Amino acid sequence: MYMNIAIDGPAGAGKSTIARRVAKELGYLYVDTGAMYRAIALFLLRSGVDLSDEDAVSKQVKDCHVSLRYREGQQEVLLNGEDVSGLIRTEEVGNAASASSIYPKVRDQLTCLQRELAAQENLVMDGRDIGTTVLPHASLKIYLTASAKTRALRRAKEYEAQGKAFDLEQIQRDIEERDDRDMHRKISPLAQAKDAVRIDSSQMSIDQVVERILQLAEEEIK
């Protein structure tokens, strides 16, 4: 049986960064499910479909194929064969991912792929519903969170480092709205699994969070 570590939490909590570091330290495969949903969102945005129309989205998504590829240890997200890793990290795509991921057809398509990966590898997988829905029997479950203000500041620093313009207040509003959507959607809402370890990273560094999760993983492995 493979060791699966599930890391869930709200947008901007640092899940991808932390999960990637933990996977590297353990020598495990890293699966960024958020990137997979963002790839589908990019496809839907390009198609011009109304994201509030479930039937239209469900029909359109049938023509969308998302897969993962690893080159030199780096995960690449492929959308119908195109590497879109550098195109899916905008606020527009993130908001579209939150809006479209509420639909069963979208979730079913990716959940099957995610479970197949977990059945074949030791891995660290992060997202919104990994420990509650995708991998309910994961060896270790983490719920990583931080205050909305902290998450907004982190996102703003990313934009600043990239030389992109940003509105801090708007970023925080987007985060709070996304939290509300994710936590109240009918299908697989964002929630802490009963057996998950909660880690609030508001006052923690990346190294501290990684160290804490590695300690928990080592205890589970033993």
Domains and their CATH numbers in the chain:
1-28+123-215 (3.40.50.300), 32-120 (3.40.50.300)
13 is in an annotated binding site: yes
The answer to whether the Cα torsion of 195, 13, 180, 126 is positive or negative is negative
Question: Where is pLDDT greater, at 74 or 144?
Answer: 144
Q: What is the pLDDT of residue 11?
A: 87
Rounded-to-integer distance, Cα 131 and Cα 128, Å: 8
34 is in an annotated binding site: no
User: What are the φ/ψ torsions at residue 49 (nearest 5 degrees)?
Assistant: -70, 150
102 close to 186: Cβ distance less than 8 angstroms: yes
16 close to 109: Cβ distance less than 8 angstroms: no
**How does 19-47 read in b/e, with b if 16+ C-beta sit within 10 Å?**
bbbbbeebebbbbbbbbbbbbbbbbbbee
Rounded-to-integer distance, Cα 37 and Cα 41, Å: 6
Q: Count of residues for the chain? A: 222
Rounded-to-integer distance, Cα 200 and Cα 147, Å: 8
11 is in an annotated binding site: yes
12 is in an annotated binding site: yes
70 close to 117: Cβ distance less than 8 angstroms: no
Q: What is the pTM of this model?
A: 0.81
Nearest to 3 by CA among 27, 32, 21, 20: 27
pLDDT at 73 over 80: no
189 is in an annotated binding site: no
pLDDT band with cut points at 50, 70 and 90 for residue 77:
very high
10 is in an annotated binding site: yes
24 is in an annotated binding site: no
Q: What is the pLDDT of residue 74?
A: 79
User: What are the φ/ψ torsions at residue 116 (nearest 5 degrees)?
Assistant: -65, -40
